[in-house]
Structure 1
Amino acid sequence: MDQHVIRPVRAEEWQRVKELRLAALRDPAAPVAFLETLEQGEGRSDEFWQERTEGGSRGRGARQFVAEGPDGEWDGSVTLLGEGKGTVDFFGEAVAEEQGHLVGVFVREGARGSGLAERLFAAALEWGWGLEEPALERVRLFVHEDNARAAAFYRRYGFTPSGRVLRLESGALEHEYVYARP
């Protein structure tokens, strides 16, 4: 039985957030999983990591969840960003409805296939659906065209392709998947 505790990060845990993100950026799948390189992550200041962790620990704008093992090791993480109707998203486009955006999905290699990703997603979605008005109408994420493993997981979890495709500066395509409010 998995003994991980799934919980939100706390603001003072910025160094652990940084370590987990850098581990994710070292993963062989990182080039198709993240819009950031290891070099970019390593080059960020302590103030950046402190602000990022603070932002993911409270408020409506974002919540980062981690999977903490019985030994205290963090074995995975996901962040749900709030995107309010009428705001501009990460890609510079107007947001048409209240929605969440899942980002930073990562599970360490040794914990993959254990159900940890499902538990992280469940915690993030539970938090998102529980937000006070305006309520989220859907949650979305983007997956790189070459990240078949992630796309298969998202479909198994219940996300469906929306048909929206974004072209990255590199020329690669990112496909939007959505999960409608139950």
Structure 2
Amino acid sequence: MDQTPVVRAVRADEWVRAKEFRLEALNDPAAPVAFLDTYEDAVQRPDSFWQERTEGAARSASVRQFVAELADGGWAGQVVVLVERRGETDVLGGRSAYDQAHLVGVYVRPGHRGTGLLKELFDVATEWAWAVEEPRVERVRLMVDERNGRARAAYGKLGFEPTGETLPVGNDPSAREFELAVSRPRA
């Protein structure tokens, strides 16, 4: 059976799968340096939270969740794209200096890491971001914990470069997160 994943947008009725996949990601050994959320907090959230979250990621004009689905229906990875408007509060609580897309919730199952799946997810996510008409996204960014060298290297291979912006990590203010970004391709 072909196990080449197909990257597609999540559907609103897949909230149970989206919840289970997120909880799996938060249980990954790298989770403490990959996510600001914790398994302990996430598992306590009611089903209504997961339903609303998944519906928003499936239907909103400013949020999209992409999953890499295997031929057997299993998910191998995911990424969420959040559109941030210039001058408005961004996902991290600051003021966005750009009309931009922010990649969050990046997770690839261990057996699919190093296979090119991350590139496939990011290609679809950035293509969607560039297609957003209002606002016209100027760049795609993400934040990566300074202690997550493997992720930093992977994002660098995909063209994401340090912007010089850093923030303290929410659950460990002694650590820093680096902003990496890629600019809209010139037409």
Shorter-chain TM-score tier? over 0.9
Mapped contact 1:65–1:77 kept (Cα < 8 A): yes
Which of 167, 172, 177 in structure 2 is aligned with 1:174?
Answer: 177
Alpha-carbon deviation of 1:112?
Answer: 0.9
Mapped contact 2:141–2:179 kept (Cα < 8 A): yes
Mapped contact 2:160–2:182 kept (Cα < 8 A): yes
The runs of 5 or more residues in structure 2 that have no matched partner are none
Give me the TM-score of the superposition, normalised by structure 1: 0.97
Query: For residues 168 and 122 of structure 1, what CA distance do their matches in structure 2 show?
Result: 27
Q: Tell me the SS of whatever aligns to 1:54.
A: helix
Mapped contact 1:78–1:124 kept (Cα < 8 A): yes
Mapped contact 1:2–1:114 kept (Cα < 8 A): no
Alpha-carbon deviation of 1:2?
Answer: 5.6
Q: Report how many residues are paired.
A: 182
Q: Tell me the SS of whatever aligns to 2:156.
A: helix
Percent identity, aligned pairs only? 53
Alpha-carbon deviation of 1:140?
Answer: 0.5
Alpha-carbon deviation of 1:96?
Answer: 1.5
Mapped contact 2:84–2:91 kept (Cα < 8 A): no
Query: What is the Cα-based RMSD across aligned positions, in Å?
Result: 1.1
Aligned to 1:72: 73
Which one-letter code corresponds to 1:181 in the other structure? R
Q: Tell me the SS of whatever aligns to 2:93.
A: coil
Query: For residues 141 and 134 of structure 1, what CA distance do their matches in structure 2 show?
Result: 18
* CA offsets 1:83-125 (integer angstroms, 9 cap, x no match): 0112101222111210000000000011111111110000000
